[in-house]
Structure 1
Amino acid sequence: MKRLLIPLAAAGLTAAALVAPAEANPNWVSDDLLPTPAQAYSAAYFWLDANGAALRKATQYTLDTKTVPKLVSTGSKSGVTDGKPGSTAPTGVGSPPAKASQVNLPKTIGKVFFQDSKGNYRWCSATSIQSRNRNLVATAGHCVYEKKDDVYDKWVFVPGSYQGKAPWGVYAGAYAFTTFDLDTYDDYDGDYAFVAVHNGFSLAGEKIVSAKEYKEWTGDKWIKPKEITAAEFLKCQLNLGDCWSEGQDKAAEQVGPDYPGAVVEKVEVGKTAYGAARTGKGNGFKFGAPVTEQVTATEYNAYNGPGDKAKTTTGNYTITRYYTQKWVKPGTSRKYYEAQYTLGLVKDMGRLGDVVGGQGFAWNQPLGQQVTAFGYPADPHPDGNKAFTGVTPKWCSGKTATKSYQINTFKVETHQVLKCSMTGGADGGPWLMKYNNSKRVGYVNGVTSVFADNDGNGRIDYISSAIFDSETAAVYNKANFAATKRIVGPNGEMLK
């Protein structure tokens, strides 16, 4: 897969210095995900609706292989990069948090959610990455492309994802950029993708409006039926309002206790009638034992029923009631409704990089780098042990191997590897070189691609990533110039 490329930049080159790539460059491809505001709005709302039900229903992406891949060392320290080292600095670094003995999780990491061709809701790990338009996400290519050039549906990024929550909003993918060989041949030497996302989106409640406002609204909307009284219904009709009735006025019909759907009602009777009634199940039979209740003087004087009234020697008032059974087939009653025109309000969260910042990007770096890899592992190990839940992000830290590796299962000729026990679900999570634990930023120099059990003990012990070289920089450089849009207006409406 490696090609002879003209290096894009020298070490330390900033994003501002990158120039727009030539249109004839054959090493990258771009595919539409949700390019229009309407498509982006629909996808974002889909994941957030019903308090994030779809987000909670989604399960981790799992590599499509029945056997755990094996790593084969190429024995090569050279030839894995094809130009001078380069990097772009992270953005959006706020005030450093207090020092901690543990690794501080970056604000930039989260999950990408999508729907596959079988209708399954899936997720992978990802991170916001620095770009000129503050709108770029880095993840694994297989978390964007389903089979060769087919992209997943409803693709969104949720930074800080946790149990169906989207604390900083949902960012719908507009355009995906990856290598020509991954897009065309499923070649995992280029298993990475950069996705330009629209401005973030969050739900902001609902609003009842007039029919005119409802008709003009371009966002999500629905009509709620509100139950009203018969008098309100008559008034609504006289005013030509949007109201209607359902059902019919029909009295209950007495039937036998064995009639299908029959229900029993209580009929209050006097003591004599109750005493003459039979015990058991049937019309006119006793309904339980007599009920004696203590009442107030006012209730006592107002009662004119067939029960027994009594005043005790202590001055208390009681009423004893007697009931028999009445079995009926329930009747129906007409109900009246009025239309409530309801708008679903949403809020523009702004550009991704302005909200959570963006990690730096590095390419053509030597192997053997100290990196910290982040992700949301969830798959069980090959031995069936499920150490991770996928709910919270985890991390591994160490030096990558000094030699590149092959993985025949996925056509990999040169991957970098890191000793790590994270499992599937961590796919697409960033490998951050020079990670600053105080500022929570570093340089993305890889994304988790494949998981391996190299010692054969039934446990994942290595993860691998494509080597970020000049070809990666070419893909990133193209994505860096992708312009995206706001999808929500100032009043919560969908923009056209």
Structure 2
Amino acid sequence: MKRLLIPLAVAGLSAAVLVQPASAEPRWATDNLQPKPADAYGAAYFWLDSNGAALRKATQYHLDAQDVPKLVTSQSKGAPDGKPGMTGPTTTSKPSTAKNVNLPKTIGKVFFLDKSGHYRWCSATSIQSRNRNLVATAGHCVFANGKDDVYDKWVFVPGYYQGKAPWGVYAGAYAFTAYDLDTYDDYDGDFAFVAVHNGFSLAGEKEVSHNQFKAWAGDKWVKPREINAQEFLKCQLNLGECWSEGEDKPADLVGPDYPGAVLEKVEVNATTYKDAKIGKGQGFKFGEPVVEQVTKPQWDAYRGPGDKGTGPDKLGNYTITHYYTQKWVKPGTSRKYYEAHYIIGFAKDLGRLGDVVGGQGVAWNQPLGQTVTAFGYPADPHPDGDKAFTGVTPKWCAGKTGTKTYQVNTFRVDTHQVLKCSMTGGADGGPWLMKYNNGKRTGYVNGVTSMFHDNDGNGRIDFISSAIFDSEVADVYNKANYAATKSIVGPHGELLK
């Protein structure tokens, strides 16, 4: 990257102590997402409510570019700017002997509201950290065009599939990225590490008394139930929570051209129907007479204005002929009565992200030309309009990264690493895993997808690019590594303070 960096002097990031001149600009930027439990709970509940409706509504985030960004070789071999290092992965997955690529449990989607209020998602992964609470993704999936601003309601959902969160939702607390991305919108630093709170899932609801409702610290709401006037009176006598809305007001007769007039039909006798006019108006004929076939008991019991005739017809059938005229009214209203029912919602704490799904390792200052497996949820169509991916399930690409760095002038990129891959937008933020172990489903994050490129100009994405994980990335990771988060719900499903 562009700034003079101080290499890490120790192998373990968690023990590293970095010193920089007082006059130097910081190499990282930190912004709050939802550090308070109430805000974190609200963000996670927003996505989980109504059986994950908001999750299913979200669409992939799009880079702010009219055309596919162009790659320009910088002819640099991207030599590391410090000593190589890595921190090992953790895993909860059982080893596998499958020959196909096994999808890691750590892979998932991050969801957030963009600055226009649209529901968006990117790809991401859980990574190793001392507090087992870090997510790695693209910086543009957390920070809104740099400029010291972050997206709202940011959460991570590992293993996301069709609106489901199999291992819970993890609300973001603190976000860390390169100073240049946050300050100058420089995509050489298009990466982010986010410390997340403990995950949780919704665990049902229960109707409680008013006192229990007032004492409950978690999610709660009043559910109204409509009752009749007698039940309303009884509720008031028992000092219950009940109320009424509206008023009893009869319908008024109006002309057919009155705004909001409603047409009703009135049954009349044959003479009145015969004398009524044809057309549209108060008391005018309403359609043709209607002949109803009835049983003998029904015929005997009928006392309405319709014509019963003199008895059964030649086939022994009994009929009644009904006649209708028009009635134009301004609808009346009726008072409605309601009684309050108090509902509390439960949430279940699922623990730290790394304890639930594990975490990939992180590697920095590795030479280019590494064999990596890149994961993500591609969804955008190719530039030629072909939509090869749905974004529903994660996909992967494998190969060696380029041995030279590339520039992307549109996004102020001087040194990106590239991988030949056809994944499209939606996969941004997904990890590039070096030394991927298919059996353990673990590796070392040595990049995250930043941009997509049509290098040969045939209307198909053929390369993806990532920030180079160098000493600056390690420095930001070291800062994020110390971020402490906690559970946001207690053992009884209540919201903690």
Q: TM-score, normalised by structure 1?
A: 0.88
C-alpha displacement at 1:4, in angstroms?
A: 4.7
d(CA) in 2 for partners of 1:290, 1:365: 88
Contact preservation (8 Å) 1:8, 1:474: no
Contact preservation (8 Å) 1:278, 1:286: no
5 Å-filtered alignment, 1:1-400, equals 1=2, 3-10=4-11, 18-19=14-15, 21-22=17-18, 26-77=26-77, 79-96=79-96, 99-101=98-100, 103-146=101-144, 147-282=146-281, 283=283, 285-295=285-295, 297=297, 299-307=298-306, 308=308, 310=311, 318-400=319-401
C-alpha displacement at 1:230, in angstroms?
A: 0.5
Residues 132 and 302 (structure 1 numbering): CA distance in 2 closer, same or farther, change over 3 Å? farther
Q: Deviations over 1:230-272 (max 9, x none)?
A: 0011111222222222222222233343433333333333445
Q: Deviations over 1:276-302 (max 9, x none)?
A: 5454444163543223133474x4554
Residues 474 and 317 (structure 1 numbering): CA distance in 2 closer, same or farther, change over 3 Å? same
Q: Deviations over 1:314-370 (max 9, x none)?
A: 877654444333333322222111223333433323222232222222223222111
C-alpha displacement at 1:107, in angstroms?
A: 2.0
Contact preservation (8 Å) 2:90, 2:354: no
Tell me which residue corresponds to 2:410.
Answer: 409
d(CA) in 2 for partners of 1:387, 1:398: 20
SS at match of 1:64: coil
Q: Compare 427-436 and 283-292 and name the one that shifted more.
A: 283-292
d(CA) in 2 for partners of 1:196, 1:413: 28
Residues 176 and 370 (structure 1 numbering): CA distance in 2 closer, same or farther, change over 3 Å? same
Contact preservation (8 Å) 1:80, 1:414: no
Contact preservation (8 Å) 1:201, 1:349: yes
Contact preservation (8 Å) 1:93, 1:441: no
Contact preservation (8 Å) 2:7, 2:81: no
Residues 20 and 220 (structure 1 numbering): CA distance in 2 closer, same or farther, change over 3 Å? farther
d(CA) in 1 for partners of 2:345, 2:179: 41
C-alpha displacement at 1:165, in angstroms?
A: 3.4
C-alpha displacement at 1:38, in angstroms?
A: 1.2
Tell me which residue corresponds to 2:442.
Answer: 441
C-alpha displacement at 1:447, in angstroms?
A: 0.5
SS at match of 1:475: helix
Contact preservation (8 Å) 1:406, 1:413: yes
SS at match of 2:120: strand
Amino acid at match of 1:326: K
Q: Compare 214-223 and 305-314 and name the one that shifted more.
A: 305-314
Amino acid at match of 2:44: A
d(CA) in 1 for partners of 2:455, 2:416: 14
Contact preservation (8 Å) 1:416, 1:467: yes
C-alpha displacement at 1:156, in angstroms?
A: 1.2
C-alpha displacement at 1:131, in angstroms?
A: 2.1
Amino acid at match of 2:141: C
SS at match of 2:112: strand
d(CA) in 1 for partners of 2:459, 2:110: 28
Residues 272 and 151 (structure 1 numbering): CA distance in 2 closer, same or farther, change over 3 Å? closer
d(CA) in 2 for partners of 1:169, 1:129: 16
Amino acid at match of 2:161: Y
**RMSD between aligned residues:** 2.9
Unaligned runs of 5+ in 1: none
d(CA) in 2 for partners of 1:446, 1:222: 44
d(CA) in 1 for partners of 2:153, 2:56: 15
Amino acid at match of 2:65: T
| Identity among equivalent pairs (%) | 71
d(CA) in 1 for partners of 2:410, 2:253: 74
Unaligned runs of 5+ in 2: none
SS at match of 2:472: helix
Residues 230 and 410 (structure 1 numbering): CA distance in 2 closer, same or farther, change over 3 Å? same
Q: TM-score, normalised by structure 2?
A: 0.88
SS at match of 2:45: helix
Residues 401 and 324 (structure 1 numbering): CA distance in 2 closer, same or farther, change over 3 Å? same
5 Å-filtered alignment, 1:423-442, equals 423-442=424-443
Contact preservation (8 Å) 2:262, 2:331: yes
Amino acid at match of 1:211: H
SS at match of 1:151: coil
Amino acid at match of 1:183: D
d(CA) in 2 for partners of 1:328, 1:226: 30
Contact preservation (8 Å) 1:112, 1:124: yes
Q: Compare 411-420 and 34-43 and name the one that shifted more.
A: 411-420
C-alpha displacement at 1:114, in angstroms?
A: 2.0
Contact preservation (8 Å) 2:5, 2:471: no
Contact preservation (8 Å) 2:267, 2:324: yes
d(CA) in 2 for partners of 1:296, 1:127: 76
SS at match of 2:15: coil
d(CA) in 2 for partners of 1:311, 1:132: 92
Contact preservation (8 Å) 1:82, 1:469: yes
Contact preservation (8 Å) 2:91, 2:440: no
5 Å-filtered alignment, 1:465-476, equals 465-476=466-477
Aligned length: 488
Amino acid at match of 2:186: D
Amino acid at match of 1:247: G
C-alpha displacement at 1:44, in angstroms?
A: 1.4
SS at match of 1:449: strand
Amino acid at match of 1:107: K
